[in-house]
Structure 1
Amino acid sequence: MSGAVGREAVFPTRQSLGLMKSKLKGAETGHSLLKRKSEALTKRFREITRRIDEAKRKMGRVMQIAAFSLAEVTYAVGGDIGYQVQESAKQARFRVRTKQENVSGVFLPQFESYTAEGINDFGLTGLGKGGQQVQRCRETYARAVETLVELASLQTAFVILDEVIKVVNRRVNAIEHVIIPRTENTIKYINSELDELDREEFYRLKKVSNKKQRDTAAQDAEILGKREQEAGKAAGPGAQATTHAADILGEHQDQDVIF
């Protein structure tokens, strides 16, 4: 059973050979497509990794500025500015919507931030004092939230692409190192078995042909011998009569006539 290692258990026929060749062609086509998909996803993955690094650096700077801005507001307004914001704000102006991006058959969610118009519940905050600092702090935190949404979108795409690339690479490796070699070994096995069957068939036909030739030669020799026997039997009495007549003429010779 050592010959069954590295190949599929199939019966060596012409039909099996055709099926294995079709399977090999499909495996090679699938390997090529998956390889291209993996390359496209890896390229996008590297781009997202670069953008995540930039977004994190930007987030650090923006949050630092926002923290200083909040400190300025607290110094200028005094009291708990967070409580005032929560009491004054009834509806959110800063909102997030989602959409999908198709990258080689993989749908990546993208988060997009926008500001709803017509909602300004935060407008009267800091009316008594520190209005400019409050406005500046609000704009700073709006940019920070936008950066945070962008970073969340990139992180989500990063996690999804990481899992998809692993799956695609496993499939590529399985096709390249398991399916294609096994199919090629199966095709070689079928070809060798078919060649062996062809040689056996040729040897059998040759033996049958030689036997027929020997049988035909024996039949021809037998027929020729029968014909010779029949010819000898048919020509036997005439030959004996001729010999007897010759003997009679030899024994009874006429005497010479003298004039």
Structure 2
Amino acid sequence: MFTKTAEYYDALYHFKDYGEACNSLHELIQQHVPHAKSLLDVACGTGKHLEYLQHHYSCSGLDLNPELLAVAHKRCPMVPLHQGDMSDFRLPSAFDVVVCLFSSIGYVQTLENLRKAVTCFTQHLNSGGLLVIEPWITPENYWVNRITANFVDQPNLKIAWMYTSQLRGRTSIFDINYLVGTKEGVNSFTESHVMGLWTDSEYRDIIETAGIKVQYDAQGLFGRGMYYGIKN
């Protein structure tokens, strides 16, 4: 997971408008928990969401990947960052808002790990706090054997990355092939991404069982939907 591409991550996802997404998220938080002061971003990656959210809340971030956290630390040096597995972490404090964005939840891979992750999220959520999860693609909307290609065209960085979507059990498999060009030369490598595929009812059942009165927004922040709700 992004062990080879951490330094290129922001360029790879240049098409995502983090500012707009965070404005929408801030509006959602203010609508449901206007008293919110603290926020935990689980699977925070390179800190692009935190870059915006830190202006509204006392933020913390958590991610499994130390390479991504290193980039996040440079971007948000004043934000506490923790390395940990989203399905099994323990932080010393709870938060008014816990978010897991941009389909990162899919990386827990199994339904049992999804249950463990959501339990961890709610354990770190204050009573009356807000949980927000952007899900990965549902099984019925996943296209097997679809070829996808993306490109980065910057003055000093050129990247072509492509993959064929595969299915193994209840997981999506992307063996992504990268061709990266810099002033130092051209490099090629492969990175494997394995993400769990769960139904809407499975997401809802696990979130509600964890004590969250779940609601769903079909569009979400990035077109993949969004589950959210208040902790009982």
Structure-1-length-normalised TM-score: 0.18
> Going by fraction, where is strand more abundant, 1 or 2?
2
Relative contact order: is structure 1 or structure 2 higher (C-alpha 8 Å, sep ≥ 6)?
1
TM-score w.r.t. the length of structure 2 is 0.20
Q: Which has the larger radius of gyration?
A: 1
